Amino acid sequence: MSLEQFIDYFADLLEETDPDTIMATTRFKDLEEWSSLVALSVIAMIDEEYDVEFRGDDIRGSNTIEDLYNIVKSRVE
């Protein structure tokens, strides 16, 4: 499990944002296209790719993509 792969999976969920602008430090809630639907897609992606239970509280408590990654990583290992 790598941060770079996680960022790629996250960027694939976004339709309007240039994937090259998505980095570990990206504050995902500040993205113009961030919505509850994208949040649900992130939860589904994490479940599918990492087999990790992820909740809305995890998203609400995170600010950057790396924050999300660190939560997932802590539940995988």
pLDDT digits (tens, 9 = 90+) for 29-72: 999 999 999 999 999 999 999 999 999 999 999 999 999 999 99
- pLDDT-based confidence at 77, cuts 50/70/90? low
Please state the domain count of the chain. Answer: 1
Cα 11 to Cα 6, 42, 71, distances in angstroms: 9, 10, 18
pLDDT at 1: 84
Q: 33: domain range?
A: 3-76
CA 77 to chain centre: 18
Q: For residue 28, give the CATH number of its domain.
A: 1.10.1200.10
The structure tokens listed for 75 are 């539940």
The predicted-structure confidence for 13-30, as pLDDT tens digits, reads as follows: 999 999 999 999 999 999
